[in-house]
Amino acid sequence: MSMELDVFVGNTTIIDEEVYQLWLDGHSVSDAVRMRLESDALSECEASGEVLHSDTMDQYRTFQMCERLLHCPSKLANQLLFQIPAHRQAMLIERYYEFDHTFAREVLGKKLSKGTKKDLDDISLKTGVALKSCRRQFDNFKRVFKVVEELKGPLVENVQHHFLLSDSLARDYAAVVFFANSRFETGKRKLQYLSFQDFAFCAGQLISYWTVGAVDNMMEDMDVDLEKEFLHDLKDLKVLVNDKDMLDQHKSLVCYQLKGKIKAFSEMEANFKNLSRALINIASKLTNTKDVRDLFIDLVEKFIEPCRSDKWTVGDLTLFLTHYTSTAHTLEMFRFQILWERYMGVIKSCILKMYHD
Amino acid sequence: MPGKLKAKIVAGRHLPVMDRASDLTDAFVEVKFGNTTFKTDVYPKSLNPQWNSEWFKFEVDDEDLQDEPLQITVLDHDTYSANDAIGKVYIDIDPLLSSEAATVISGWFPIYDTIHGIRGEINVLVKVELFNDLNRFRQSSCGVKFFCTTSIPRCYRAVMVHGFVEELVVNEDPEYQWIDRIRTPRASNEARQRLISLMSGELQRKIGLKVLEMGGNAVVGYLQCFDLEGESGLVVRAIGTACTLDKLSNTYTPATAINPCNSSPSKDIKEAGFGEEAPGVPLSSGPPTPLRAQTFSSFSPSKSYSRQSSSSDTELSLTPKTGMGSGGSAGKEAGPLKALLRQQTQTALEQREFPFFTLTSFPPGFLLHVGGVVSARSVKLLDRIHNPALGNTRSYKLLDWNSFTADEPETRDAWWEEIRQEIKSHAKALGCHAVVGYSESTSICEEVCILSASGTAAILSSRFMQDSALDTEHRFEDLMSPGCAFCHIPYDELNMPFPAQLTYCHCCRRYKVPDVLFTTIDLPTEANVTGKGCLIQARLCRTKKKAQGEGNATAISNLLPFLEYELHTQLMNKLKLRSMNALFGLRIQISVGENMLLGLASATGVYLTALPSPGGIQIAGKTPSDITYEQHISNMQKKINDTIAKNKELYEINPPDLVEEVIGSPIPEPRQRSRLFRSHSESSDEVSELDLSHGKKDAFVLEIDDTDAVEDIHSLLTDAPTPPGFYSCNTEIMPGIYNWTSALQMFTSVRVFRLSNVNLTNQGLNKVFNDLCENLLKSLYFKLRSMVPCCLCHVNFTVAVPEDELIQVAVTAVAMSFDKDQTQENGRQSIDKNLMKAITENEDQLQFPLELSAESSSNPLNSAKGLSEVSGPLPSARAPSVDYSSFTDRCSSWIEQLRLKAHTIRCGSIKTMSSLEKASPLPEGRSRSLRSNRSYAGSSVTVVKMTPLSFIPGTKIIKYLGIINMFFIRETTSLREEGGVSGFLHSFIAEVFAMVRAHVAALGGNAVVSYNMKECVFMENPNKNQAQCLINVSGDAVIFVRESELEATPPQPHSASAQTSSSGEGT
């Protein structure tokens, strides 16, 4: 005695968001049924396990059939098999491409290759995200990466256009793609305290200001790579630390501005040259791909950690960086104003984002 | 050469990868019509080819245009080996042949392969240039419109209803040809699909010819079925109602429409003439309710052997006849003129061989009285020898079985003829001259075939059957209160065809009505109903010994009467349990398997105000000595009484005279082993018809003297009530619910249950079957919980026994939301108090939804359906008490004003369908982040609504584009990989929906009404990893507009919008 076959097909495809989430989270049908039974939301329906099982099976089947289409979201909109209202389609796509930040943090900066895919069970164990879900998220990363990698134009808009994602999710994907492409080091122990959101923010800054597309909005521009010319020019900033007069003048100007305004003034005064040297060195080394990858670890080791040991507050740091940047303009001999602004703008916001415990 | 068909292949998209090496496809297209084939160029290396072909022109006979489908095959070009087929599209061009339907077919069609399912889409343009052919002897019937809808379609007016048309064609089933052994499953499936498409076309053309012969121009209630008889062939048969329809133009004002429907020439039924007809009928008695069923069987090839057995007569004739001696005085006023009119109707009908109508709802004034359900069944043996002319060598030559009638008397035609005669005589016995809501069906298992036909005996007005010249003469007839007339008995009470208790009508108190009324039609819109209705099902399973040939047929025909009787008993008990007194849309399906018979009866129970209140159910024990036993019985009795009380509350059944209702009148002595009979109080000997103040309440007695009875009671009480917020019915509309919103969900659900325990008893089987149906319903309610409050309408169950131990149940229905809180918009309630008052005075049933908010397109006018005619644009202004039409006008203009106001508030944009769909709010929290400029390419796919009903609430159908009649086969040899049987069928059904939607969209439509899945044959062989499924669907493609949009359109002249609102009421 058994149900051999049990299907339900609506003219408008019925999608239960709750079950969809369970499916996305990688739960098996029986797990999903158990969880639905336990949830309060359905208690009023007095649904029996049998009913729930049948419903869950139907939903899972529907999702499996839709999955093929979700891989290419624009197909979902003009396919004929499932009649799904536009806003539900948007929900399906958005949810399918949403990812766990803890998972993304682990994959960030890694090559989206088969090798990484093999490590997914470790990541699954570490993050507590089900392996099935890890695989889906990883495949999503890979798929998005593959599509937008070679595309011209703004990265975020490319993601958005091809995958019909919301603005914020598209930005997150842009960050993932950007990190995967440039292979930034994020795995070091010292960087462990940084969250996905921190990195995503930094990626956003880098994409907005340091890529080719950042300077002129010509459509042919690539948005995934940092602008080579800019990185090369950064060497010119060395003058700020190599020229003794300029360094002293810079220091005095900053000190003048900050006196009495920050708590860690004395530490700042003592350390100014080291800090300045650190920032300029980072800038000058960025021509080297290896050093680009180490951007974040360098920022932490060379700048954030000294400040942290001197117990700077975020306010102190903000003021310092603001004036450190602006006073350079008043230096008579300093001719690289635009370059300086472009460099420091990003460095400042990244440091501020990364400056926490 | 009267037609030129032109086709253009535009483009393809989402094609499958056919070349593994390049991950691309070199696609080209073959376009075939008849024997002519054209090809497009190969579009190399693309999954989205742009052929943009020239116009392929086919010059063809219109006969072929009707029969043949346009066949489009998409192939992958291969230089070295044979080209691989990607898939096919069959386009029925019939809709292009009628001037009033579609003019062009243009759109994306799913490319379908019987093995792989949908594989991409193709964009096609099709046009037809038709030259007029005035040849009187033509074989084509272009221009005859076909409708699946079983009422007069919404934008038409019935000028004449000509009557029954039927036809059948037969051919050899390609699946059983010798060649099938050597060809691929794909080739075999495609041969079958194409053959059935051809046969359907031919059938439709032949029916069209019959209609033209009758002087009609349309077929309404067109029902086409396939009988897959296996070895002995493939039968495609169709029935329908020929009509002459007039298109209501936009300038058509309601005032002119009143005229033709203003008279009902005959209402009186109590003429002596009818008593005389009754004796001529073989049956002298029948079930206590007007269900006349007779089973006769003839199962030997030597035709003459036909055994007659009137079902359940022996048991039911025990029912005491109630003394209804004195004729009602009211009936005697029948004037001679009426008699004359009646005679006219009579003769009009008698001219026809079969006065049958496949309609289930009628133009106002057409249906006068309803007698009850008539049905007939016959068990036949299929035999290949009937068809000697069908040789193996013919592949697709169509053969009309009719041409063999001369040699072979035992043809399908003769079988059906026999059954129809039977039905006709049953109807006569009920004093009726017509059968409405007529349908035919078969159930085939191996070589045994059960043919069934059923309908509702009725008396019709002659108005739609004769020239309208008569019309003006009998307007005076309209005195009858419209809400109860159809309940009045058509038969002679002195000579009743079966024992029944008659009382005076509770509405008009002048004519006699039966205590219970069973019908196969929809609830007439004018009917007075107390409370709401509900779906009632009787389910039954009976084991049968495996047998062959005649023995098997005998066994089945012996079982049938018992099956029918028990189904009837169950229905009756369940009806009583719900405190209702009438069934509408009754459909009894009997399905035969190798070792069992399944019976499923579905109907919608209602409380007709005109009929007496039903008594309760009384349980009687046989051995009253045992104390515990008595306690058990009294417990059960209490349970039953509680359920009845609960149901009354649930369905809001509070007839005014219910106060003195006593559940359980004196129990009569159990005289027989009959478990179900009527008690009648001794005091009522002297007929108490005149005493209406206390309608006789009779309790049904269920005597528990055997396990069967216990089981019956058990099954009575185990029917789970519908969860709160849900209603269900199998008719078009649910009495008591008027304020539908536009939320609509059509669905199909299929379950197959495997009985692993071979030695099941009847009871065990019954329980399994019952649970299967109940659980299925429960699952439906759960799935549709987000639509609450909602009603499952047109719930259509089909059962089958595909294999030895399998039971298959398929349901198609539509869930429609309604507005529960009718007083929600209380601000508007006070706007027109007078109006409200007027309504409440006239119809206490009527509630007025004043829902005018921008989002919801619920139709404020649909509430008027209680007053006005639902089945068409014919306004019914015939009620004597109130001038409904003027009321309607008033109310529509009032609502229009409100609408205009509401409209200006929401910035006056005229929304299209798709934008409306898109406008629905995004899920909470997400909407914020979604950019408005995000492009949904989705706007390119038209949203197509599907419903088994003939209307879509809140909308008006402005055009019928033609009939949709599609047949698909899907087969797989990789069942496991496709997700098992469920995965396989799930995607197949989704594919069928998709193909129906695509065809409708290509015709320019946005909905399918009267959608029906007529066949779903599923076969599997899990061991071989194989499965096959055949699905046949039908419906009417239409264009609808939301009523709110209609009125918002500025250039619409006033007269047109008034027309809209008044004729759209029914929607």
Instruction: Give the pLDDT confidence of B939-973 residue by residue, as tens digits.
Output: 468 899 999 999 998 888 988 998 999 999 999 99
| pLDDT computed for residue A223 by the predictor | 65
Q: How far is CA B564 from CA B540, B541, B589, B772, B958, in A?
A: 9, 11, 10, 20, 43
Complete edge-to-edge strand list for the sheet that includes strand A2-10: A2-10, B740-754, B806-818, B790-800, B726-728
Yes or no, beta carbons of B991 and A81 under 8 Å apart? yes
Encoded amino acid at B967, one letter: F
Cβ contacts of B164 within 8 Å, gap of 6 or more: B239, B240, B241, B242, B352, B353, B354, B355, B356, B357, B358, B438
Yes or no, beta carbons of A5 and B990 under 8 Å apart? no
**Are B852 and B828 within 8 A, CB to CB?**
yes
Yes or no, beta carbons of A77 and B938 under 8 Å apart? yes
The least confident of A120-124, B142-146, B694-698 is B694-698
Nearest residue of chain A to residue B940 (CA atoms)? A78
**pLDDT tens, residue by residue, B195-207:** 998 999 889 988 9
For residue B1064, how many other CB atoms are within 10 A of its CB? 30
DSSP lists the bridge partners of residue B588 as B601
DSSP label at residue B356:
B
| pLDDT computed for residue A188 by the predictor | 86
Distance CA B26, CA A328 (A): 64
Share of chain B above pLDDT 90, in %: 24
Average pLDDT over residues B84-98: 88
Q: Which residues in chain A touch residue B987, judged by CB atoms under 8 angstroms apart?
A: 65, 81
**pLDDT tens, residue by residue, B99-121:** 666 778 999 999 999 999 999 99
**φ and ψ of B381, to 5 deg:** -100, 125
Query: For residue B861, is pLDDT > 50?
Result: no
Nearest residue of chain B to residue A8 (CA atoms)? B749
Q: Which of A338-352, B126-140, B989-1003 has the highest mean pLDDT?
A: B989-1003
Yes or no, beta carbons of A5 and B752 under 8 Å apart? yes
| pLDDT computed for residue B986 by the predictor | 94
Q: Which residues in chain B touch residue A168, judged by CB atoms under 8 angstroms apart?
A: 929
| pLDDT computed for residue A150 by the predictor | 80
Considering CB atoms only, which of A5, A58, A164 is closest to B934? A164
**pLDDT tens, residue by residue, A187-245:** 888 888 999 999 999 998 888 888 876 665 554 556 677 888 888 888 888 888 888 88
Residue B310 in 3-state DSSP?
strand
Residue B59 in 3-state DSSP?
strand
Q: B543-549 — which CB contacts under 8 Å span 24+ positions?
A: B543/B595, B543/B596, B543/B760, B543/B761, B543/B762, B543/B765, B544/B593, B544/B595, B544/B596, B544/B597, B545/B595, B546/B594, B546/B595, B549/B381, B549/B447
Q: Which residue has the tokens 């230096």?
A: A331
Share of chain A above pLDDT 70, in %: 95
**Are B518 and B641 within 8 A, CB to CB?**
no
Considering CB atoms only, which of B748, B936, B986 is closest to A86? B936
Yes or no, beta carbons of A8 and B746 under 8 Å apart? no
Torsion of CA A211, A213, A214, A218, to 10 degrees: 160
User: CA angle at residue B1007 from B1003 to B1009, to 5 degrees?
Assistant: 115
Where does the pLDDT of residue B485 fall: very low under 50, low under 70, confident under 90, or very high at 90 and above?
confident
Cβ contacts of A55 within 8 Å, gap of 6 or more: A8, A16, A19, A47, B779, B782, B783
Q: Which residues in chain A touch residue B723, judged by CB atoms under 8 angstroms apart?
A: 45-46
| pLDDT computed for residue A10 by the predictor | 93
Distance CA B62, CA B54 (A): 23
Distance CA B1060, CA B893 (A): 11
Chain B contact probe: residue of A1, A2, A3, A7 with most B CBs at under 10 A: A7
DSSP B848-899: ------SS----GGGGGGGTS-SSSS------SSS-HHHHHHHHHHHHHHHH
**Are A95 and A20 within 8 A, CB to CB?**
yes
Distance CA B943, CA A86 (A): 10
Q: Which of A230, A232, A253 is nearest to A330 (CA)?
A: A253
Yes or no, beta carbons of A9 and B748 under 8 Å apart? yes
Distance CA A321, CA A343 (A): 12
Yes or no, beta carbons of B985 and A76 under 8 Å apart? no
From the number of C-beta atoms within 10 Å of its C-beta (0-12, 13-18, 19+), residue B829 rates as middle
Q: Which residues in chain B touch residue A46, judged by CB atoms under 8 angstroms apart?
A: 723
Query: For residue B305, is pLDDT > 50?
Result: no
Q: How far is CA A180 from CA A177, A248, B391, in A?
A: 5, 40, 70
| pLDDT computed for residue A220 by the predictor | 52
| pLDDT computed for residue B577 by the predictor | 86
Considering CB atoms only, which of B753, B929, B994 is closest to A81? B994
Where does the pLDDT of residue A83 fall: very low under 50, low under 70, confident under 90, or very high at 90 and above?
very high
Q: What distance in Å separates residue A353's CA from the closest CA in chain B?
A: 23
- Number of A/B CB contacts below 8 angstroms equals 177
From the number of C-beta atoms within 10 Å of its C-beta (0-12, 13-18, 19+), residue B666 rates as exposed
Q: How far is CA A253 from CA A233, A276, A316, in A?
A: 25, 13, 16
The ipTM assigned to this model is 0.88
Where does the pLDDT of residue B137 fall: very low under 50, low under 70, confident under 90, or very high at 90 and above?
low
Yes or no, beta carbons of A5 and B943 under 8 Å apart? no
Q: Which residues in chain A touch residue B118, judged by CB atoms under 8 angstroms apart?
A: 80-81
User: CA angle at residue B1066 from B1062 to B1067, to 5 degrees?
Assistant: 105
Q: Which residue has the tokens 């015709």?
A: B1003
Q: Which two tokens stand for residue B997?
A: 């939607």
**Are B793 and B816 within 8 A, CB to CB?**
yes
**pLDDT tens, residue by residue, B410-449:** 578 888 988 999 999 888 888 888 899 999 999 988 888 8
Yes or no, beta carbons of A10 and B752 under 8 Å apart? no
Q: Which residues in chain A touch residue B1016, judged by CB atoms under 8 angstroms apart?
A: none
pTM, to two decimals:
0.80
**pLDDT tens, residue by residue, B738-786:** 788 888 999 999 999 988 766 678 888 888 888 899 999 999 999 998 8
Distance CA A96, CA A166 (A): 12
Calculate helix-pair angle for A196-210, A167-182, nearest 10 degrees: 80
User: CA angle at residue B192 from B190 to B194, to 5 degrees?
Assistant: 70
Yes or no, beta carbons of B943 and A83 under 8 Å apart? yes
| pLDDT computed for residue B109 by the predictor | 94
What's the distance, CA B293 to chain centroid? 20
For chain B, the average pLDDT equals 71
* Positive or negative: CA dihedral B454, B458, B462, B464: negative
Q: Which residues in chain A touch residue B808, judged by CB atoms under 8 angstroms apart?
A: 5
Largest CA distance in chain A: 92
**pLDDT tens, residue by residue, A123-166:** 999 899 999 999 999 999 999 999 888 887 788 888 998 999 99
Yes or no, beta carbons of A89 and B986 under 8 Å apart? no
Average pLDDT over residues B192-220: 89
Query: For residue B126, is pLDDT > 80?
Result: yes
Total residues found in chain B within this entry = 1067
Q: What distance in Å separates residue B982's CA from the closest CA in chain A?
A: 5
